[in-house]
Amino acid sequence: MAATAAPAPPVGRGPGVVRAWRALTVVCVLAIAGVMLLPLVWMVATSFKPEADIVKFPPSLLPERLTFEHYLDVWDRIPFARLYLNTIVFAGGVTLISLLLDSMTAYALARLEFPGRNLVFVAILVMLMLPFQVTLIPLYDLLVSLGWTNTMQGLIVPRATNAFGIFFLRQFLLSLPRDLEEAARIDGASEFRIYRRIIMPLAAPALLTLGLFHFMYNWNDLLWPLIINQDQARQTLPAGLALFMGQHVVEFGILMAASVLALIPVVLFFLVIQRRFVEGIATTGIRG
Amino acid sequence: MSTATQVPAPPTAPPPPRRPVRGRGRLARRQALAAWGFMLPSLVILAVFVVYPMTQALYLSFTEYNVLQPARWIGLDNYQRLVSDPAFHNALVNTFYYAAVTTPLSVGLALGLAVLLNRRLPLRGFLRTSVFLPVVLSLAIVAIAWNFLLDPNIGLLSYWLSKVGIVSEQGWLRDPSLAMPAVILVGIWKNVGFYMVMYLAGLQSIPRELHEAASIDGAGPWRRFRRITWPLLANQTMLITILAAIATLQAFDHIYVMTRGGPFFRTETVVMMIYRVGFTEFGFGYASAMSWVLVLLIFGLSMAQVGYFRKRTVTY
């Protein structure tokens, strides 16, 4: 991102003023970053403190003694490995299936001519505007009658495609030049072959961005797994840890170690592909 | 991204002259068939897991239903009950309180941070990442940390605040007048980076020459912001405000983790109340009626958003 505004220090002053101004900006920047990072720093620091130091008064931010016991204990105390696996299967499964189904529908809407196309698109737009909370009760009711509560397919299948994903990919596919597939089509290539061999490779950047959105959204989601699963061993991490906090108020160290481990995959993804992530948001204005 | 005005792309090339007309009809039919084939899995899932539940929610809102017995039609009773239910009034007031404080503060802070980050600045990348990081994290999980930070006994933040004279004996989250400010604080912390990134995109589309010309004419930073940046960001501000308002109306995760709607229902928003009535008291019919009120509120804001896309006026 290029800096556009004028240089920060007031022009035409001595070097002392420039240096003081620079120091002041650094202090401001560190203060803002400190406020934003405080809960995360505290979380990581606390996960390495012995339980006795955590509940000590007055509290301190940084640990005086370090311990790794919480990171070892967490695997037995909460069904943590189970929660972790559930979250990987849920978020990963939804992401992969949804990318496939979203892109197929987006391909039809963006690249094929057929009667009813506008109608389908308008229906997708309407679904995009409706808050998903309104479907929760009937959806729960439906999953109960299918016997799908407390199951992985109950979590994944209702999320296996998504109006936002279809919309996002359609917009991207519209921007590709049209004559790309015309030659292949005249040569008699099937639509599936065009989708698979020509369009999808070109859509890779959009698919990656959308995949990140899907993964992050489902990895982080609380309300949906909370409602569909009553069984704690079948929860995903956010719901499982929220419930654990409600039941065991005292085990701070373990809870913080679990939280740190639960946040790590998304943080890593984000730090590696930060730029694409941020651009995706800036262009669509929609969370995954 | 003017979605509403998208017209079907015109056929690009004239058909090859040798191809007979009958063949084109067959091609068009083949393409239509392929299109529906591509869309079939998505459409089935959307129909079963979105459209059907949506209509079912409307039906259930006219019934009394608690899972054990079949739904019983009671007409408008649920809606009449909403009008006179003090608990629902309380949830509406809390929702608007949360939205009315969180939205302008988030948008204002996001604008300030974006303007700051758009300058040449030491540690700029670090600051941008720090502000944006909460956006990608699970709100339910970071709310656990906030919970402990605000704890009256072991909480670091409540200890620091007590040092500067802000003391809460019961703890922030158990204090009826401080619980809502606490969840608002967390709501802003979580989302401000999201709006900041949108503002940064807007700022970078403002031509640099405008600022340079104004500087040469002697306009100071504040005047340049007032006369150039702010008016040219009007579109972005409008869009961000609507998105932020929609997001605040649906706030749930951190409220669930930090207060469960308490103390004394002081942080129970509409979504929290739907959860409580629907999934802890199994008042499915009544909770469905509430969820349709939420739909109307959010749909109104979404229509405002579409209207905004239709007539975005600032051009430069």
For A26-69, how does the pLDDT look when each residue is reduced to its tens digit (9 = 90+)? Answer: 999 999 999 999 999 999 999 999 888 888 878 888 888 888 88
Q: What is the CATH number of the domain that holds B175?
A: 1.10.3720.10
Question: Helix or strand or coil: residue A212?
Answer: helix
Of A5, A54, A129, the CB nearest to B302: A129
Domain span including residue B166? 94-267
Measured CA to CA, the distance from residue B113 to residue A46 in angstroms comes to 29
B41 and A104: CB-CB below 8 Å? yes
Domain-embedded: residue B206? yes
Residue range B41-63: mean pLDDT, rounded: 94
Residue range B61-65: mean pLDDT, rounded: 92
Kindly tell me if the per-residue pLDDT of A97 is higher than 90.
yes
Residue range A156-165: mean pLDDT, rounded: 93
Q: Which domains does chain A have, with CATH numbers?
A: 15-67 (no CATH), 76-284 (1.10.3720.10)
In one-letter notation, the amino acid at residue B173 is L
| More confidently predicted of B22 and A223 | A223
The percent of residues in chain A predicted with pLDDT above 90, rounded, is 49
Domain tally for chain B?
1
Q: What pLDDT is stored for residue B11 in this prediction?
A: 43
Average pLDDT, chain B: 86
Which chain B residue shows the shortest CA-CA distance from A216? B136
Question: Which pLDDT band holds residue A11 (cuts at 50, 70, 90)?
Answer: low
CA B154 to chain centre: 33
Residue range B6-20: mean pLDDT, rounded: 44
Q: Give the ipTM.
A: 0.86
A263 and B121: CB-CB below 8 Å? no
Kindly tell me if the per-residue pLDDT of A5 is higher than 50.
no
Domain-embedded: residue B219? yes
Question: Which pLDDT band holds residue B18 (cuts at 50, 70, 90)?
Answer: very low
Lowest mean pLDDT among A121-125, B219-223, B253-257: B219-223
Measured CA to CA, the distance from residue A238 to residue B74 in angstroms comes to 38
Domain-embedded: residue B174? yes
Chain B residues lying within 8 Å of A120, measured CB to CB: 39, 43
Residue range A135-146: mean pLDDT, rounded: 92
Measured CA to CA, the distance from residue B222 to residue A138 in angstroms comes to 53
Chain A residues lying within 8 Å of B117, measured CB to CB: 1
Q: What pLDDT is stored for residue B23 in this prediction?
A: 56
Question: Which pLDDT band holds residue A105 (cuts at 50, 70, 90)?
Answer: very high
The residue assigned the tokens 């007979």 is B20
- In sequence order, the 6+-apart residues with CB closer than 8 A to the CB of A24 are none
Q: What pLDDT is stored for residue B313 in this prediction?
A: 52
Chain A residues lying within 8 Å of B8, measured CB to CB: 113, 117-118
The number of CA neighbours under 13 Å toward the Cβ of A112 is 32
A-B C-beta contacts closer than 8 Å = 321
Q: What pLDDT is stored for residue B309 in this prediction?
A: 65
Question: Which pLDDT band holds residue A284 (cuts at 50, 70, 90)?
Answer: low
Chain A residues lying within 8 Å of B282, measured CB to CB: none
CA B292 to chain centre: 17
A6 and B211: CB-CB below 8 Å? yes
B298 and A55: CB-CB below 8 Å? no
Span B85-121, pLDDT tens digits: 999 999 999 999 999 999 999 999 999 999 999 888 8
- In sequence order, the 6+-apart residues with CB closer than 8 A to the CB of B58 are B288, B292
Residue range B50-69: mean pLDDT, rounded: 90
C-alpha distance from A281 to closest chain B C-alpha (Å): 7
| More confidently predicted of B291 and B21 | B291
Q: What pLDDT is stored for residue B152 in this prediction?
A: 83
C-alpha distance from A223 to closest chain B C-alpha (Å): 7
Chain B residues lying within 8 Å of A245, measured CB to CB: 144, 147, 257
Measured CA to CA, the distance from residue B4 to residue B307 in angstroms comes to 9
Residue range A85-107: mean pLDDT, rounded: 96
Question: Helix or strand or coil: residue B265?
Answer: coil
Measured CA to CA, the distance from residue B20 to residue B250 in angstroms comes to 56
Q: Tell me the two tokens of residue B158.
A: 């409540």
Is the CB of residue B146 less than 8 Å from the CB of residue B166? no
Question: Which pLDDT band holds residue B303 (cuts at 50, 70, 90)?
Answer: confident
Span B282-301, pLDDT tens digits: 899 999 999 999 999 888 88
Chain A residues lying within 8 Å of B258, measured CB to CB: none
Kindly tell me if the per-residue pLDDT of B171 is higher than 60.
yes
A182 and B12: CB-CB below 8 Å? yes
Of A141, A252, A267, the CB nearest to B148: A252
- In sequence order, the 6+-apart residues with CB closer than 8 A to the CB of A132 are none
Kindly tell me if the per-residue pLDDT of A240 is higher than 70.
yes
Q: What pLDDT is stored for residue A12 in this prediction?
A: 56
C-alpha distance from B311 to closest chain A C-alpha (Å): 18
B140 and A241: CB-CB below 8 Å? yes
Which chain A residue shows the shortest CA-CA distance from B284? A137
A114 and B287: CB-CB below 8 Å? no
Q: What pLDDT is stored for residue A265 in this prediction?
A: 92
Question: Helix or strand or coil: residue A106?
Answer: helix
Which chain B residue shows the shortest CA-CA distance from A56? B154
Question: Which pLDDT band holds residue B311 (cuts at 50, 70, 90)?
Answer: low
Average pLDDT, chain A: 86
Of B57, B148, B154, the CB nearest to A138: B57
Question: Which pLDDT band holds residue B209 (cuts at 50, 70, 90)?
Answer: confident
Domain-embedded: residue B261? yes
A267 and B56: CB-CB below 8 Å? no
| More confidently predicted of B300 and A155 | A155
Q: In 10 A of CB A5, how many CB atoms?
A: 20
B73 strand-pairing partners: B63
Q: What pLDDT is stored for residue B15 in this prediction?
A: 44
Kindly tell me if the per-residue pLDDT of B4 is higher than 70.
no
Measured CA to CA, the distance from residue B141 to residue B182 in angstroms comes to 16
DSSP designation for B173: G
- Distances in Å between the Cα of A231 and the Cα atoms of A99, A149, A152, B224 are 29, 9, 12, 58
Domain-embedded: residue B39? no
Domain-embedded: residue B283? no
Of B4, B35, B159, the CB nearest to A114: B35
Domain-embedded: residue B259? yes
Backbone angles phi, psi at B73, to 5 degrees: -70, 125
A4 and B157: CB-CB below 8 Å? no
Domain-embedded: residue B123? yes
C-alpha distance from B243 to closest chain A C-alpha (Å): 8
| More confidently predicted of A186 and B140 | B140
B197 and A282: CB-CB below 8 Å? yes
